[in-house]
Every structure is written in structure tokens, then in C-alpha cells.
């Protein structure tokens, strides 16, 4: 079975996409309380992540690998920082609920809404994205489409079965007196580390 994660890039438009859309994407993502860190290369991505880890004094992380994370050596960097890292599905299932941080890769961003698109067919990915209070995603800053319509041009060609979706900022509610409150069931913080440099090794 082909899943979206493996084939979406084939349908990613060469034109009408790219890093020139990043400023709008960043503005929209920040407008919904997303944190955006744009970096030039893998090494800086690692530093950006470590700053986040230090800021929340993370002791425990659940991680699903992605090419950008591998290129930046994220897992090793976390471990050297003294953070306990879980990467296997069974470990993630046992620890995601109590982890301080969840880390995963996303496919592309949408400038119109500040959303990221992620294939969550893999159960570990979903646990990592929803259970910890801080969720950090890695995104290639060239993988940005203008809007919802363009996103669906890709999705309609690459989503046959499974579990896909947009994530747009942290979990939120306004159910009590319409007061916006961040972090009800899902993460209370959502950070995007966007890397300009393409990871080596071609397709994700």
C-alpha cells in the first residue's frame, strides 16, 4: 500500500510553491500562537531545538524520525543533553502521555492558513503530535503552497487511505465564556522549525 507520506512529493507543484511563500506562512502560523524558527541549515535546526528543550527543561522526549531531523542529528543531540528519548512505537505508546516534548516531521505548509500538512498513518506519529504538551515539527521552508485549494490538489492525488491532516497552531478552546484558552486536550505549545537547506538523500 502506498501511503501519502511516501508519494505526496510526486504531486507537489514545482511552480506556485516555494520559500517565497514562507513569510506569509510564518505570519499566519504566528497569528494562531504557533512558534516559528526559520534556519538556513541542519546544524542551526539542532540549536533551535536545543533552545526549546532547555526552555521547557525537557527530561523526556518522544520522537518520530524524519529526514530533516536525521540530517540535524536531533535524537543524538537530545540524548547528549541528558534527555531520555523514545523512538519505538511501543515505547512511545508507554511514554507519550508523560513526555515533555514530542517531535515529528511534516510534509508541507499552507501560506493562507499557517497550517502544516502531516501524514499521520503511523500510530507513533499521532501519539507524538497529540499527547505531549510541546509539539515540535520539522518542515522544509521550500515546501509551502499558497492555499487550501492548492493543498488539496496534492492531497487528492496522494491520499488514498490512512490518516492525514492539517495542524494549525496549538490545541485551543473558547468554550468557556468565549475566552481563548490554549492547550486543552492537545499540545499547549506548537513549534515549527523550518529548514532552508534540503536534507541530503533525496526524497523523504
Partner 1 sequence: METETRNLRKEISEKLKDQTLRDALGRFSEAYPIARAKAYENAGDIETLRGALRQMKIDTVKRIEEVADRFEAEATKRGAKVFRAKTGNDVKEYLVNLCKEKGVRRIVKSKSMASEEIDLSKNLETAGIYTTETDLGEWIVALAGQKPSHMVMPAIHLSRFQVAEYFSKELRTDIPPDIAFMVQAARKELREKFLQADMGISGANFGIAENGAIGLVTNEGNARMVTTLPRIHVVIIGYEKLIPAIKDAAAILKVLPRSATAQLMTSYMTMIAGPTPAMVKRDGKWVEEEREMHIILLDNGRLRAAHDDKFKEIYQCVRCAACLNVCPVYTLIGGHVYGHIYAGGIGAILTAFLHGMREFEQFQELCIGCRRCTTVCPGKIDIPGLIEELRIRNVKEKGLPFLLKQTFENVVSNRKLFHGLLRLAAIGQKPFQSGRLIRHLPLFLAGMAKDRSLPAIADTPLRDRIGKITKKIDKPVKRVVFFSGCTIDFVFPETGESVFKVLQELNMEVLFPEGQSCCGKPVIALGDVETTKKIARENIRALMEMNPDGIIAACPTCTESLQHYAELLKDDPEWGPKAETMAKKVREFCSFVAEEYGKRGRLTKTGGGPKVIYHDSCHMKRVLMIDKEPRQLLEAAGCELIEMKDADKCCGMSGIFGVKYAELSMPILERKIGNIRDTGAEIAACACSGCMVQIQGGLDKQLPGVQMKHVADILAENLKD
Closest distance between partner 1 and the C-beta of residue 41, in Å?
Answer: 30
* CA R_g for the chain: 16
14 near partner 1 (CB under 8 A): no
Question: Is the CB of 67 or the CB of 147 nearer to partner 1?
Answer: 147
Q: Which of 114, 140, 141, 143 binds partner 1 (CB under 8 A)?
A: 114
Which segments of 6-122 are extended strands (E)?
34-39, 60-63, 84-86, 101-105, 108-110, 115-119
Identify the residue among 71, 103, 127, 194 touching partner 1 (CB under 8 A).
127
Minimum distance of partner 1 from residue 76's CB (angstroms)? 25
**Residue 153 Cβ, how far from partner 1 at the closest point, in Å?**
7
Nearer to partner 1, 178 or 200 (CB): 178
Buried b (16+ CB within 10 A) or exposed e, 32-65: ebbbbbbbeebebbbebbbebbeeeebebbbbbe
CA–CA separation, 111 vs 142, rounded Å? 11
Burial class for 127, CB neighbours closer than 10 Å (0-12, 13-18, 19+): buried
Binding of partner 1 at residue 203 (CB under 8 A)? no
56 sits near partner 1 (criterion: CB under 8 A) = no
Alpha carbons 86 and 202: distance in angstroms, whole number = 26
Residues within the interface to partner 1 (CB under 8 A): 28, 32, 89-94, 97, 110, 112-115, 120-123, 126-127, 129-130, 148-149, 151-153, 155-156, 159-179, 181, 183-187
Amino acid at each position: 500500500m502506498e501511503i501519502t507520506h511516501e508519494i505526496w512529493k510526486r504531486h507537489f507543484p514545482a511552480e506556485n510553491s516555494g520559500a517565497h511563500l514562507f513569510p506569509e506562512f510564518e505570519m499566519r502560523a504566528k497569528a494562531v500562537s504557533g512558534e516559528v524558527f526559520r534556519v538556513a541549515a541542519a546544524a542551526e535546526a539542532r540549536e533551535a531545538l536545543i533552545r526549546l528543550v532547555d526552555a521547557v527543561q525537557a527530561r523526556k522526549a518522544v520522537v518520530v524520525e524524519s529526514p530533516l531531523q536525521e540530517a540535524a542529528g536531533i535524537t543524538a543531540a537530545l540524548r547528549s543533553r541528558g534527555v531520555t528519548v523514545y523512538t519505538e512505537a511501543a515505547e512511545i505508546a508507554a511514554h507519550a502521555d508523560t513526555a515533555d516534548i514530542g517531535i515529528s516531521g511534516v510534509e508541507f505548509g499552507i501560506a493562507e492558513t499557517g497550517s502544516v500538512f502531516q501524514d499521520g498513518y503511523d500510530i507513533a506519529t499521532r501519539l507524538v503530535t497529540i499527547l505531549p504538551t510541546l509539539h515540535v515539527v520539522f518542515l522544509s521552508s521550500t515546501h509551502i503552497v499558497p492555499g487550501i485549494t492548492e493543498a488539496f490538489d496534492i492531497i487528492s492525488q496522494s491520499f488514498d487511505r490512512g490518516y492525514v491532516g492539517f495542524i494549525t497552531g496549538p490545541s485551543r478552546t473558547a468554550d468557556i465564556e468565549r475566552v481563548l484558552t490554549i492547550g486543552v486536550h492537545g499540545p499547549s505549545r506548537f513549534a515549527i522549525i523550518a529548514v532552508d537547506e534540503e536534507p541530503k538523500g533525496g526524497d523523504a
